[in-house]
Amino acid sequence: MNSPISSPSSFRSGAGGAALELRGVSKTYPGGVHAVRNADLAVFPGEIHALCGENGAGKTTLASIAAGKLKASAGTVLAHGNVGLVHQHFELVDRLRVWENVVLGYEPHRGLRLDATAAHERVVALSQEYGLAVDPDAIVENLPVGIAQRVELLRELARNPSVLILDEPTAVLAPAEIDALFATVRALAERGTAVLIITHKLQEVISHTSRITVMRAGEVVAHFETADTTVDEIARAMVGGELPKLATRVETNLKPALVLRGLTAGESSFAVRDATFDVEGGEIVGIAGVEGNGQSALADAIAGVIPYQGSIELAGATLPAGDPAGRIARGIRTIPQDRRREALVLTWSIVENVALGDQRRPPLCRGINLNREAERALAKSIVERFDVRTPSIEASVAALSGGNQQKVVVGRALAHDPKFLLVYQPTRGIDVGAAALVQSRLIEARNAGVAVLLISFELDEILALCDRVLVMYRGAIVGNFTRGAIDRGRIGSLMAGASALGAAS
Amino acid sequence: MSGLQDFVMLTLVKAAPLIFAALAGVICERAGILNIALEGQLTVGAFTAVAVSFATGSPLLGLLAGVLAGALVGMLLGVAATRFGVDQIVAGTGINLLAVGGAAFGLTVVFGQPGASSEVPALGSTGENVLIAFAFVAALLLHVALYKTPWGLRTRASGENPRAVRSAGVDPRTVRLIATALGGALAGLGGVYLSLGELDLYSDGMTAGRGFIALAAVIFGRWTPFGATGAALGFGALAALQFVLQRTGVPSELMQALPYLAALAALTGIAGRARAPQSDGVPYTE
Amino acid sequence: MIRALGIAGALVAIAAGAMLLAGANPIMGFYALFEGALGGKSQIAETLVQTTSLLFPSLAVAFAFRAGLFNIGAEGQLIIGGLLAGLIGARLDAPGFIAIPILLIAGAAGGALWSSIAGLLRARFGGSEVIATLMLNIVAALLANYLVVGPLHSPGAAGPETAELPHGSWLPTLLPGTRLSLALPIALVLALVLRYLFDRTVFGYELRAAGSAPEAARRAGINLAKTAFIAMALSGAMAGLGGATIVTGVLHRFNVSLSPGYGFIAIAVALVGDLDPLKIIIASFAFGILQSGALTMQALAQVPKDVVSFVEGLAILALAARRFVAERLRVQPAE
């Protein structure tokens, strides 16, 4: 099922008038990894073009090549004019001001001196022209994420690009901000800019774009006219087949497990305030919300790595603050947000990584020594049960794909019969197959009586997995929905800050 | 008040090389390079100045050579760190060893004797005073350059987030390389002051850890040119104090140790928690 | 492997160039270097002495590196360790089997104490151990100078040194007529112990985790501050022990110049040895050849011995390229 689906002739290379054209572009890294293979892409002035694909499909690499930030190993890139690129993870200098960031590299100057006044004026002018309100003197690190994105957008727009590429622009935005962003994008397209949006949010693709290119495993596999296709068809092209199904949920008997009372932790706008809720054994409770509303502080407090006020109890016993080791001993396991930094030691093998967290507990330790046989046995068991694709358990985890790395992390968390599982963005940056496996395992754990708290920025994931949904906004829990009473629209409004009155329970 | 006047003069004399080295430290760290090779750059500047002055009879040529040598050694650090992925601390340590060994070796080659050079044509007391004044001018120039020019903006940005600089279309590695060259030049000038300004010869170990005191001055000075200069003046005053207290029972080693102890104290955050540039010491790779 | 040989070749060429510059014959120079280092039993013994003096601080530096810490202060820790051993040893009159362990332990304790200052600053205040250890190096030299010339001056001593240790407190020699002592086997055993520690023990596992992935280690329940502190202390202890062996085994007294920069050369040795205790033994031997051959090179071929430190500095630069960064694997941004 790998043949491209319907290619109208206008997509074939050589079409006149394209603002951006990639022909036969490939990118191979030393070691033989093909990030991109023989890709063709054409973006025309005035269109909003979506580039879709799973994580790891090569979209960001292709975008970097298109913007001239990365050199292709083969193929040609033709761009008529500047190509601007707004990154998924902003590349701004946090400690400098907005105007300094916007003019960086193209600073207005009088002789040797920086012309700060001219720079200010330039920012204000751009800001008005594109309808992106910013305070030129604000320090970037103090800005909320949606405003910071505008700064990076302005920086790119200052170069008067004929092509603008946006990489996952709505991942960090609330619904209202997403609407504002697309209004800006539409205005840009109307002025003749060619816009390429990299996204996996298919609903947005259907609503706002005119053409779609799908990538899978480094290759371009399909083109669509948005008007003629559906979310399902795009998703199937992205995955190359039917979407994998999740495990089924069963009836469970709820048992008291984790109780939070008045939990307050974290700093300033990223703090969690006065959170009170519980998670019972045999259910998955989800925390819905846009990134940056206190979820990380909540997760870190539960994991025991930051100080907090209020209390956390597991099965009636209060947990001491700042004690990750104690939590592990009591059966609390976490699947952190950033597996490469927070869950794995990349230079180590799978064998050594599976012992992390349990290295002081028999059978993984024997006296002062590690028990290598036990480590190996555990690694083998996880690799089998979680379908980790690797040549050997002694292979370094750095060589594994994101999905396989995550499977190791999840396998390790589930290996010692946990009582409570804190899961933070479990399917970030992994392919759909691995994501489905991870999600299924979470459901199976829930079926077996584990209490699961799922924090995710993907509302679809929350709705697919959770028995109850809480909404976080600005550090507070503002909504509480049981599965039967889930109202997607209401949850979306709460995520964006609508008042909490009338929340269903 | 001749005593006070003498004390102030002595402070300035002692502070001048520290100011040069501290300013060098500020430039480099602001760009993101933790330069622990200041000691080696001082050494190379001091020795080269003396050697060239000896060979050509011109202390001015010696000065130029010393500055150039410092810049080259600075660039060695920059190239090692930005192009070859050598860890900055490790590279700095290597350069210090290289410089000290090279200078000692050079003594034998140029002067035929180890330990110290012969006396060479020097800058005299006028030259010495000019250099001292220039130290303050340099601080002012660096302040203006860092905060009021595009170069300064790019340099500060490179020390905070080199990726952002890259996506703005500027190569942070080049920015860092330029910073290490300029820093090396300044440190080299500090070395020239030691050998041709204050004295008229070079001797083994004459830099006496000033390159490390300068690092402390950068921290105290919160990575700003004026702050580092102020801290360097403070350390200079401590050194001057040592002469005054020599006749009392205070051990000279204690006085000599004061700048380093002060730096240790600064690490506890007593001097306030100013933050180093975010990418200070962090390598940037593409 | 080819790259390593290439680098070695380049260094040899540069060294030869430097020798020519000094008006000496490079062939004579290299011959004198190796003759002086390996030309006979007593020469080899002296080379092994240098090897041992390098091995202790190199293991110390590598140990700290594995735990994610830069110990640039091995020189100062070595001095303090030697200082304590010398001060106590000059005044202690006891049979060897009591005195020697006391002095060695004192040396280790002194080194540990010294590095713990940096360790504390890092664990408690988050202060950079790079700056701290650099500063402490100089303070150590000043302190040693002060004590040994001033208040703790021994009557029998001339210059910045202690009186000679009583013969009972000397480390037994392995080869009569040379300075090669029990220090070498002690160092070798230490290397083996460290290798075992890293590979097989839980403590070594936690240390490596803290060094390679501090955030993951923290969430796995590893106490980063405590681990860093212990690692610094142990590292200092090893360097201090090295200083004590120089005092009891080589010089038989403490002298402020007991180290020609072993603590700094150790950084090169640790890197060349890939931070692996067994490879570090070999690397220490290679650098030991350089150190002990240098004096002969100077005497016989009129090549200034400083060419050696010059080349050692270059070696650090050349060898560290790529290797060290890969070791630490600074995490690349999102896939």
Pairing of strands A365-366, A369-370: antiparallel
Q: What percent of chain B has pLDDT above 90?
A: 56
Question: Taking CB atoms and an 8 Å limit, are B150 and A109 in contact across chains?
Answer: yes
- The pLDDT score that the predictor gives to residue C216 is 95
Look at residue B206 and tell me if it is in a domain.
yes
CA distance B180 to B203: 26
Contact, B90 vs C320, CB < 8 A?
yes
- Chains near C (3 or more Cβ pairs under 8 Å): A, B
H or E stretch at A257: strand A255-265
Q: Higher pLDDT residue, A380 or A321?
A: A380
pLDDT at residue B222 tops 60:
yes
- The pLDDT score that the predictor gives to residue B284 is 81
- The pLDDT score that the predictor gives to residue C285 is 94
- How many residues are there in chain A? 505
Q: What is the mean pLDDT of residues B159-187?
A: 94
Q: What is the 3-state secondary structure (H, E, C) of A96-108?
A: CEHHHHHHCCCCC
Domain span holding position B172: 19-211
Comparing A175-184, C179-188, C317-326, the range with the smallest average pLDDT is C317-326
Measured in angstroms, the CA of A205 and the nearest CA of chain B are apart by: 26
- The pLDDT score that the predictor gives to residue C327 is 45
Pairing of strands A113-114, A109-110: antiparallel
Q: What percent of chain A has pLDDT above 70?
A: 94
**DSSP label of C211:** H
Reduce the DSSP state of residue C238 to 3 states and report it.
Answer: helix
Nearest CA in chain B to C123: B268
Reduce the DSSP state of residue A126 to 3 states and report it.
Answer: helix
Number of domains in chain B: 1
Query: Given CB atoms, is C268 within the 8 Å cutoff of chain B?
Result: yes
Question: Taking CB atoms and an 8 Å limit, are B161 and A93 in contact across chains?
Answer: yes
Name beta bridge partners: A318.
A313
Nearest CA in chain C to B109: C22
H or E stretch at A166: strand A163-167
Give chain A's mean pLDDT.
87
The tokens of A489 are what?
């629209």
CA distance A130 to A125: 9
Measured in angstroms, the CA of A19 and the nearest CA of chain B are apart by: 20
Residue C111's identity, in one-letter code, is: G
* Bond prior to A30 in cis (omega within 30° of 0): no
Taking the model in full, what pTM does it have? 0.85
Query: DSSP per residue over chain B, as a string?
Result: -HHHHHHHHHHHHHHHHHHHHHHHHHHHHHHT---TTHHHHHHHHHHHHHHHHHHHS-HHHHHHHHHHHHHHHHHHHHHHHHTS---HHHHHHHHHHHHHHHHHHHHHHHHSSSSB-------HHHHHHHHHHHHHHHHHHHHHHHHHSHHHHHHHHHHH-HHHHHHTT--HHHHHHHHHHHHHHHHHHHHHIIIIII-S--BTTTTTTHHHHHHHHHHHTTT-HHHHHHHHHHHHHHHHHHHHGGGSS--HHHHHHHHHHHHHHHHTTTT--PPPPTTTT-----
- The pLDDT score that the predictor gives to residue C326 is 46
- The pLDDT score that the predictor gives to residue B244 is 77
Residue B48's identity, in one-letter code, is: T
Residue C183's identity, in one-letter code, is: A
- Chains near A (3 or more Cβ pairs under 8 Å): B, C
Reduce the DSSP state of residue A215 to 3 states and report it.
Answer: strand
Comparing A137-141, B219-223, C189-193, the range with the smallest average pLDDT is B219-223
Question: Taking CB atoms and an 8 Å limit, are C335 and A348 in contact across chains?
Answer: no
pLDDT at residue A387 tops 70:
yes
Question: Taking CB atoms and an 8 Å limit, are C317 and B86 in contact across chains?
Answer: yes
- The pLDDT score that the predictor gives to residue A2 is 35
Which domains does chain A carry?
9-239 (3.40.50.300), 255-339+418-496 (3.40.50.300)
Chain B positions touching C320 (Cβ under 8 A) are: 80, 86-87, 90-91, 94
- The pLDDT score that the predictor gives to residue C333 is 30
pLDDT at residue C38 tops 70:
yes
Comparing A215-219, B173-177, B231-235, the range with the smallest average pLDDT is A215-219
Residue A146's identity, in one-letter code, is: G
Query: Given CB atoms, is A87 within the 8 Å cutoff of chain B?
Result: yes
Taking residue B199's Cβ as centre, other Cβ atoms within 10 Å add up to 18
pLDDT bucket at B105, cuts 50 / 70 / 90 = confident
The tokens of A182 are what?
């697309």
- The pLDDT score that the predictor gives to residue C329 is 40
Q: Which of residues 37 through 66 in chain A touch C, CB cutoff 8 A?
A: 55-56
Query: Given CB atoms, is C334 within the 8 Å cutoff of chain A?
Result: yes
Question: Taking CB atoms and an 8 Å limit, are B278 and A105 in contact across chains?
Answer: no
* Sign of the four-CA dihedral A398, A399, A402, A405: negative
Closest CA to B51 of B63, B39, B37: B63
C189: exposed, middle or buried (Cβ count in 10 Å: 0-12, 13-18, 19+):
exposed
pLDDT tens profile C91-106:
888 888 899 999 999 9
Contact, C88 vs C253, CB < 8 A?
no
Query: Given CB atoms, is B272 within the 8 Å cutoff of chain A?
Result: no
**Cβ-proximal residues to A257 (8 Å cutoff; 6+ apart), any chain:** A278, A279, A280, A281, A314, A315, A419, A420, A451
Measured in angstroms, the CA of A268 and the nearest CA of chain C are apart by: 22
**Cβ-proximal residues to A102 (8 Å cutoff; 6+ apart), any chain:** A119, A122, A123, A126, A136, A151, A154, A155, A158
Q: Please state the φ and ψ torsions of residue A41, each to the nearest 5 degrees.
A: -155, 135
CA distance B209 to B212: 5
pLDDT at residue B30 tops 60:
yes
- The pLDDT score that the predictor gives to residue A11 is 39
Query: Given CB atoms, is B83 within the 8 Å cutoff of chain A?
Result: no
Q: What is the 3-state secondary structure (H, E, C) of C145-195?
A: HHHHHCCCCCCCCCCCECCCCCHHHCCCECCCCCCCECHHHHHHHHHHHHH
pLDDT tens profile A160-191:
899 999 998 887 777 777 888 899 999 999 99
pLDDT at residue A154 tops 90:
yes
CA distance A329 to A51: 45
Residue of A69, A94, A106 lying closest to B167 (CB–CB): A69
Closest CA to C273 of C264, C286, C259: C286
Question: Taking CB atoms and an 8 Å limit, are B153 and A112 in contact across chains?
Answer: no
- The pLDDT score that the predictor gives to residue A362 is 84
Look at residue B3 and tell me if it is in a domain.
no
Comparing A265-269, A350-354, C81-85, the range with the smallest average pLDDT is A265-269
**DSSP label of A310:** E
Look at residue C290 and tell me if it is in a domain.
yes
CA distance A211 to A228: 10
Name beta bridge partners: C201.
A369
Instruction: Give CA separation, A271 vs A138, A266, A307, A381, in Å.
Output: 21, 4, 12, 39
Nearest CA in chain C to B40: C313
Question: Taking CB atoms and an 8 Å limit, are A355 and C218 in contact across chains?
Answer: no
pLDDT at residue C324 tops 70:
no
- The pLDDT score that the predictor gives to residue A176 is 73
Q: Higher pLDDT residue, C308 or C77?
A: C77
A266: exposed, middle or buried (Cβ count in 10 Å: 0-12, 13-18, 19+):
buried
- The pLDDT score that the predictor gives to residue A232 is 84
Contact, A176 vs A158, CB < 8 A?
no
CA distance C204 to C209: 9
pLDDT at residue A207 tops 70:
yes
The tokens of A374 are what?
């036990």
What is the separation, in whole angstroms, between the first and last Cα of chain C? 31
Residue located via tokens 């495993």: A217
- The pLDDT score that the predictor gives to residue B272 is 55
pLDDT bucket at B271, cuts 50 / 70 / 90 = low
- Chains near B (3 or more Cβ pairs under 8 Å): A, C
Measured in angstroms, the CA of B150 and the nearest CA of chain A are apart by: 5
Measured in angstroms, the CA of A246 and the nearest CA of chain B are apart by: 39
**DSSP label of C38:** H
* B2-31 and B210-220 helices, crossing angle to 10°: 80
- The pLDDT score that the predictor gives to residue A502 is 46
Domain span holding position C77: 2-328
Contact, A270 vs A296, CB < 8 A?
yes
- The pLDDT score that the predictor gives to residue B270 is 62
Contact, A198 vs A167, CB < 8 A?
yes
C201: exposed, middle or buried (Cβ count in 10 Å: 0-12, 13-18, 19+):
middle
Q: Which of residues 121 through 140 in chain B touch A, CB cutoff 8 A?
A: none
Q: Which of C199, C212, C219, C331 to mutate to test the interface with A (most CBs of A within 10 A)?
A: C219
Closest CA to A379 of A369, A364, A367: A364
Give chain C's mean pLDDT.
87
- The pLDDT score that the predictor gives to residue A499 is 65
pLDDT at residue C176 tops 80:
yes
pLDDT bucket at C141, cuts 50 / 70 / 90 = very high
Query: Given CB atoms, is A69 within the 8 Å cutoff of chain B?
Result: yes
CA distance B224 to B22: 10
**Cβ-proximal residues to A441 (8 Å cutoff; 6+ apart), any chain:** A247, A386, A410, A414
Closest CA to C268 of C104, C64, C46, C58: C58
CA distance B16 to B45: 14
Look at residue B120 and tell me if it is in a domain.
yes
The radius of gyration of chain A's CA atoms, rounded to the nearest angstrom, is: 24
Q: What is the mean pLDDT of residues C142-149?
A: 91
Q: Which of residues 231 through 270 in chain A touch C, CB cutoff 8 A?
A: none
pLDDT tens profile B49-77:
999 999 999 999 999 999 999 999 999 99
- The pLDDT score that the predictor gives to residue C3 is 65
The radius of gyration of chain B's CA atoms, rounded to the nearest angstrom, is: 18
- The pLDDT score that the predictor gives to residue C331 is 33
Q: What is the 3-state secondary structure (H, E, C) of A402-450?
A: HHHHHHHHHHHHHCCCCCEEEEECCCCCCCHHHHHHHHHHHHHHHHCCC
Look at residue B107 and tell me if it is in a domain.
yes
CA distance A408 to A402: 10
Give the CATH number of the domain where residue C117 resides: 1.10.3470
Q: Which of residues 168 through 207 in chain B touch C, CB cutoff 8 A?
A: none
Q: What is the mean pLDDT of residues C214-221?
A: 94
Nearest CA in chain A to B160: A93
Q: Please state the φ and ψ torsions of residue C310, each to the nearest 5 degrees.
A: -60, -50
- The pLDDT score that the predictor gives to residue A3 is 33
pLDDT at residue C192 tops 60:
yes
Chain C positions touching A346 (Cβ under 8 A) are: 212-213, 329, 331
- The pLDDT score that the predictor gives to residue A311 is 92
Closest CA to A174 of A321, A291, A65: A291
